[in-house]
Chains A and B, each alone.
Chain A
Amino acid sequence: MTTLQLKNIVKRYKSQTVLDDLSLSVADGETLVLFGPSGAGKTVLLRMVAGVIEPDEGQILIGGEDMAEVDAEHRGIGMAFQNFALFPHMSAFDNIASPLTATRSSKDAIAAGVQKVAKLLKIDHVLSHHPKALSNGQKQRTALARALAGSPPLLLLDDPLRNVDAKLRFEMRLELPRLLAAQGATVVYVTQDYKEAMALGDRIAVMSQGRIRQIGTPAEIYLAPADIEIARLFGDPTINLLDVVPKEGPDGIYVELSDVRIALPGMPGAVVGKSCVIGLRPEAIVFTKAGAPGAIPVAVEAETPLNEKTVTLVMTMRKREVLVSRPAGTPGPASGPAHIAVDGRTAFLFDKQSGALIASAAASMTRNGEAA
Chain B
Amino acid sequence: METTSTFEKIFRGTALLLIVLFFMFPILWIFLMSFQTNETILRIPPSVVFTPTFENYQALITGKLTSAAGTLDIAFMRNLGNSVFLSVASVAVALVLGVPAAYAFARHKFRGSEDIAFTLLSFRFAPPLLVLLPLTQYFQWLGLADTYFGLIWVYQLICLPLILWIVRGYFEDISADVEYAYRIAGHSWFATFRKIALPLAGPGIAAAGLLAFIFAWNNFVFALVLASADKQPVTVGALAFVTASGIQYGQIAAAIVLSITPTLAIALYAQRYLVEGLSLGAVKG
Contact = CB atoms under 8 A, between A and B. Distances in A.
Interface string A279-308: 000000000000000000000000000000
A73 interface: yes
Nearest to A143: B181
A52 interface: yes
Q: Interface residues of B: mostly helix, strand, loop or mixed?
A: helix
Contact of A86 (B178, B191, B199, B283): B178
A99 interface: yes
A112 interface: no
B111 to A, nearest CB: 16
Contacts of B189: 71
A131 B285 contact: yes
A72 B191 CA distance: 13
Contacts of A85: 175, 177-178, 180-181, 285
Contacts of A89: 199-200
B70 interface: no
Given A50-B180, A85-B177, A85-B180, A150 B285 contact: no
B178 A150 contact: no
Contact of A88 (B180, B182, B187, B285): B285
A132 interface: yes
A87 interface: yes
A86 to B, nearest CB: 6
A50 B178 contact: no
B183 A98 contact: no
A79 B182 contact: no
Residue from B178, B181, B188 having most chain A Cβ neighbours under 10 A? B181
Contacts of B196: 87
B179 to A, nearest CB: 9
Contacts of A51: 183-184
A146 B186 contact: no
A151 to B, nearest CB: 12
B24 interface: no
Contacts of B177: 81, 83, 85
Contact of B184 (A77, A83, A87): A77
Interface string B169-209: 00000011110111111111101000010011000000000
Contacts of B283: 88
A87 B180 contact: no
B186 A87 contact: no
A264 to B, nearest CB: 49
Contacts of A98: 181-182, 185-187
Counting chain A residues whose Cβ lies within 8 A of the other chain, the interface size class is 20 to 34
A102 B189 CA distance: 12
B193 to A, nearest CB: 13
Contacts of A71: 183, 188-189
A99 B186 contact: yes
A268 B185 CA distance: 53
Given A73-B188, A131-B285, A132-B285, A87 B183 contact: no
A87 B178 contact: yes
A352 interface: no
Nearest to A132: B285
B173 to A, nearest CB: 12
A208 B264 CA distance: 59
Interface in A75-108: 75, 77-79, 81, 83-89, 98-99, 102-103
Contacts of A87: 178, 181-182, 196, 285
Contacts of A102: 185-187, 191
Nearest to B178: A85
Contacts of B175: 83, 85
A146 B180 CA distance: 13
A52 B183 contact: yes
Contacts of B284: 88
Interface in A248-276: none
Contacts of B181: 79, 81, 85-87, 98, 146
Interface in B100-136: none
A47 interface: yes
Given A86-B285, A89-B199, A72 B183 contact: yes
A72 B184 contact: yes
Contact of A73 (B187, B199, B200): B187
A50 B285 contact: no
Contacts of A79: 180-181, 184
Nearest to A99: B185
Contacts of A88: 178, 200, 283-285
A47 to B, nearest CB: 7
Nearest to B196: A87
Contacts of A146: 181, 185
A103 B200 contact: no
Interface string A30-51: 0000000000000000010011
Nearest to A98: B185
Nearest to A103: B186
Residue from A52, A72, A150 having most chain B Cβ neighbours under 10 A? A72
Contact of B180 (A47, A84, A103, A150): A47
Contacts of A72: 180, 183-184
Nearest to B180: A52
A89 B284 CA distance: 10
A73 B180 CA distance: 9
A81 B183 CA distance: 13
Contacts of A84: 285
5 contacts: A73-B187, A86-B181, A89-B200, A98-B187, A102-B191
Given A85-B175, A103-B186, 13 more contacts: A72-B180, A72-B183, A73-B184, A73-B186, A81-B177, A86-B178, A87-B178, A88-B200, A88-B283, A98-B182, A98-B185, A99-B186, A150-B186
Give me the 8 closest cross-chain CB pairs, A-B, nearest first: A102-B186, A88-B285, A85-B177, A99-B185, A98-B185, A72-B183, A85-B181, A52-B180
